[in-house]
Amino acid sequence: MTQYLKVAGILFAICAVAAICLGFINEVTAPQIAAINRAQTEAAYQQIAPGFTFGEEREGEGVVSYNIPLSKDGKIAGYILSLTGGGYGGSFTLVAAYNADGSVLGAKMMGNSETAGLGKKSEESWYMKMFAGLGGDKPLPNSKNDLEDPNLVSGASITFGGVTKALKAGSEYVRNLGGK
Amino acid sequence: MANMKELTKGIFRENPVFIIMLGMCPTLGVTTQVFNAIGMGAGVIFVLLGSNIFISLLRKVIPDSVRIPAYIVIIASFVTIVQMVLQAYVPALYAALGVYIPLIVVNCIILGRAEAFANKNTVVDSILDAIGMGIGFTLSLLLIAAIREIIGAGTITLLNLSETTRIVITLPVISKSPVRVLTLAPGALLVMGYLKAYFSWNSERKAAKGGNV
């Protein structure tokens, strides 16, 4: 019995020291990480929807975490949505700006665990430009074969499928909002 | 001299990837670009060094029956510290390495060296073992990544922190018609298989000549 208690005590002590060290590092780094995340999100909004006035954040539903109305000349002209999708490395978050008719203005991949050199390409600006203007009169692609150059997303078809599915869901969500 | 052997054995004689065959998951997964190999290698060297030092220091304290959970706690703590510090102070590098940082926890090389070496040897020897194994792992990743990226994409990515912070050498002929399968998962297995075959042949050849294997 004493032997078991001794072993448990040593393992507990190792875990406790590790937890204290991690707690201390977390305390130091958490505010910095939160500030970086805020700055990155705000920069993404400016990048995907330049020239608009941003409204208050509103709660979304389904794959849409929240929406932010975009105004121009006092009228709602579109929305920014935070979308959750599924990629090769698990779920990802992307922010997308839409016109009120559901067509994509711009999008940016945010938190993700996609493979570097393959799915990670979705973080680059040229990647999301493939979807700009689509989702309204012109449909979003169903597969990479609908692209002019499918080789651009070779090796990362699952990421591409996940991004397309999320953007389609966002487009439908915006149309259902009906400009409100 | 004996210490130098601990340092150099991981590079060729006991290379973790091609001889001991440890750390196969990250080896196959991250070697799509040369830069990934550099980042993963640096992360593994740091964690291996930290975990080897602490496990060697605590080798007489940790009971044998709970050594594996204790090692995992130490290794996971080091990896989490690396992850938090990079995310807070070098976000570009954190974003570039992405999922590979937490993957270091399950890299068999780290636990393998803790179990096979650090818990039986002094701190100095454990440090040399960590550096040698880490360099051997990094060089192996670089070799595989270079072959895959050069033939599979016609490029050599030396730095890839963002769209504006990037150093990519584009090779003139092969970049026009690369063998794309090498950048995909089957390509990793093909390259690994051929390199393993070469290293096995080389070891046997040396053994036949009576040299050290």
Is A10–B62 a contact, with Cβ atoms under 8 angstroms apart?
yes
Task: Note whether A11 contacts B69, CB cutoff 8 Å.
Answer: yes
Are residues A114 and B30, on separate chains, in Cβ contact within 8 Å?
no
**Of residues A7, A116, A151, nearest to B65 (C-beta):** A7
Radius of gyration of chain B (CA): 18
Q: What's the one-letter identity of residue A112?
A: N
Judged by a CB distance cut-off of 8 A, whether residue B89 touches chain A is yes
B163 touches chain A (CB under 8 A): yes
In this structure, are residues A124 and A146 in contact, taking their beta carbons and an 8 Å threshold?
Answer: no
pLDDT, residue B95, reads 74
Helix H or strand E segment including A99: strand A90-99
- Residues from chain B contacting residue A159 (CB–CB below 8 Å): none
How many beta-carbon pairs below 8 A join chains A and B? 86
Q: Which residue has the tokens 């042949």?
A: B201
Q: What pTM was computed for the model?
A: 0.74
Q: In Å, how far is A113's CA from the nearest CA of chain B?
A: 5
d(CA B95, nearest CA chain A) in Å: 9
Residue found under tokens 């570097």: A116
Q: Distance (Å, rounded) from C-alpha A164 to C-alpha B7?
A: 50
Token pair, residue B21, equals 């065959």
Distances (CA, A) of A154 to A20, A114, A149, B152, B169: 45, 14, 10, 12, 20
Q: B58 in contact with A at a CB cutoff of 8 Å?
A: yes
Instruction: Report the alpha-carbon angle B156-A155-B197, nearest 5.
Output: 65
> So what's the pLDDT on residue B213?
45
Per-residue pLDDT of chain B (213 residues; tens, 9 = 90+): 567 777 888 888 888 899 888 888 888 888 888 988 888 898 899 899 999 999 999 999 999 889 999 999 999 999 999 899 988 988 877 876 767 788 888 888 899 999 999 999 999 999 999 999 999 999 999 999 999 999 998 999 888 777 677 889 999 988 888 898 898 889 999 999 999 999 899 888 888 887 554
pLDDT tens for each residue of A111-132: 887 876 778 888 888 888 888 8
Within 8 A of B96 by CB-CB distance, chain A residues are 116
CA–CA separation, B176 and A85 (whole Å): 33
Residue bearing tokens 């559901």? A102
pLDDT in tens, A143-176: 777 777 777 777 788 899 899 999 999 999 998 8
Q: Which chain A residue has its CA at the smallest distance from B61's CA?
A: A10
pLDDT at B212: 52
Chain A segment 67-96 residues within 8 A of B by beta carbon are 89
* Residues paired with A58 in a beta bridge: A67
- ipTM > 0.85 for the complex: no
Q: How many residues does chain B have?
A: 213
CB-CB contact of B177 with B60 (8 Å): no
A87 band by pLDDT with thresholds 50, 70 and 90: confident
CB-CB under 8 Å, A10 with B88 = no
Backbone angles phi, psi at A70, to 5 degrees: -110, 125
Query: For residue A117, what are its two tokens?
Result: 């050199």
Closest CA to A116 of B168, B6, B33: B33
